[in-house]
Amino acid sequence: MAVAIVQGASRGLGLQFCKVLASRADVAKVIATSRSAENEAALHRMQSQFPNKIVLINVDVTKENNIKQVVPKITEESTGKIDLLLNCSAILHPSGKGETSLRDVSLEGLRTTFETNTIGPLLIAKYFSPLLLKSSGLLGKQAGKKHSGILVNLTAKVSSISDNHVGGWYSYRLSKSALNMATKNLSIELGRGKSKVICVALHPGTVDTDLSRPYHKDKLSVEDTGKCLAWDGNAIPF
Ligand SMILES: NC(=O)c1ccc[n+]([C@@H]2O[C@H](COP(=O)([O-])OP(=O)(O)OC[C@H]3O[C@@H](n4cnc5c(N)ncnc54)[C@H](OP(=O)(O)O)[C@@H]3O)[C@@H](O)[C@H]2O)c1
């Protein structure tokens, strides 16, 4: 039975990913994290809907010490292996609005957005990749293609350099492009050994429902590692 972590699970897509995963018969446990996960009413309601399946743990990805502190608890809850890790945490900008011109760009805006969208997910990969490497690839399996866990970094189409025709949203675009590069690096490093973690950047589309289609189909294989994929399985150029 599979174990999944949804990082950035308190609302939006992360919350829906938790629901989809918890409702699967082949998933034994979903570990849901965010800064407020333990106090989130929607997650508590979901916990009662799927008894003993959902574990809530507060983690602020902008604080490396906080990530480090929860490693023993998550290792215990996951019984030492993770089959799927979804990095969902992100902000558009600390002000809530993406920059429309260079005038709006600030060190604080860039720094906070990068900490949440890029550095946080990378640190999560650093601390939890040992558990992904221990997975026997229970999710996303395709005939004949052996892999261990799956690491999914939620990206956005606006991270694509070649697809950028309108500009703006400096902090968000830059942070997600950098996250794509981190995903590529992770796919190389975590794909070198005998156990191979599939690492993909996933653009979920702009709809906020029914976003679990790629997982329902179990389509990911070793050939996908290092790619940036849209919700419908099509590759997005970096
Ligand atoms: N919605 C879309 O149309 C869309 C389109 C393209 C890509 N995406 C991507 O999909 C992902 C999910 O987006 P969403 O729309 O579901 O966002 P959302 O509803 O705003 O949720 C963001 C999540 O990130 C968590 N978070 C924020 N700061 C955090 C921190 N410092 N540490 C830990 N968790 C933190 C939040 O929880 P707390 O506040 O409790 O910490 C929340 O659970 C993001 O990566 C986004 O870039 C979304």
For residue 154 the two structure tokens come to 């939620």
Kindly state the DSSP code that residue 34 receives in the 8-state scheme.
Answer: E
184 in Cβ contact with 133 (< 8 Å): no
Rounded CA separation 21/44 (Å)? 16
pLDDT of residue 220: 78
For 129-183, write each residue's pLDDT tens digit.
999 999 998 887 655 568 899 999 999 999 999 999 999 999 999 999 999 999 9
- Per-residue pLDDT, averaged over 6-29, amounts to 96
Q: Which residues of 34-71 are buried (b: 16+ CB within 10 A; e: fewer)?
A: bbebbebeebeebbeebeebbbbbebbbbeeeebeebe
State the pTM of this model.
0.91
For residue 88 the two structure tokens come to 């969902």
Rounded CA separation 13/46 (Å)? 14
Residues enclosing ligand 1, CB less than 6 A? 8-14, 34-36, 59-62, 88-91, 116, 120, 154, 156, 203-204, 206, 208
Q: How far, in whole angstroms, is CA 72 from its chain's centroid?
A: 20
What are the structural domain ranges in the chain?
2-230
From the alpha carbon of 40, which atom of ligand 1 is closest? 40
For 173-187, write each residue's pLDDT tens digit.
999 999 999 999 999
Q: In what order do the strands lie in the sheet with 84-87?
A: 54-58, 27-34, 2-7, 84-87, 150-154, 198-203, 228-230
pLDDT of residue 221: 80
Give the pLDDT band (50/70/90) at residue 52: very high
- Per-residue pLDDT, averaged over 27-42, amounts to 97
What is the average pLDDT value for the chain, to the nearest integer? 92
pLDDT of residue 215: 36
* C-alpha 154 – ligand 1 centre gap (Å): 9
pLDDT of residue 144: 56
Element (H, E) at 151: strand 150-154
For 187-231, write each residue's pLDDT tens digit.
999 999 988 999 999 999 874 433 333 334 566 788 889 999 987
For domain 2-230, is the CATH number 3.40.50.720?
yes
Ligand 1: which residue has its CA nearest to atom 29? Answer: 89
Identify the CA nearest to 204 among candidates 236, 223, 232.
232
Give the pLDDT band (50/70/90) at residue 10: very high
* C-alpha 143 – ligand 1 centre gap (Å): 33
From the alpha carbon of 61, which atom of ligand 1 is closest? 32
pLDDT of residue 233: 84
Question: Which region, left, alpha or beta, applies to residue 197 given φ > 0 means left and ψ of -120 to 50 means alpha?
Answer: beta
From the alpha carbon of 153, which atom of ligand 1 is closest? 45
Ligand 1: which residue has its CA nearest to atom 18? Answer: 12
* % residues pLDDT > 70 (the chain): 92
For residue 231 the two structure tokens come to 């919700």
3-state secondary structure of 225: coil
From the alpha carbon of 115, which atom of ligand 1 is closest? 31
The count of C-alpha atoms lying within 13 angstroms of the C-alpha of 172, restricted to the half-sphere facing its C-beta, is 23
pLDDT of residue 205: 86
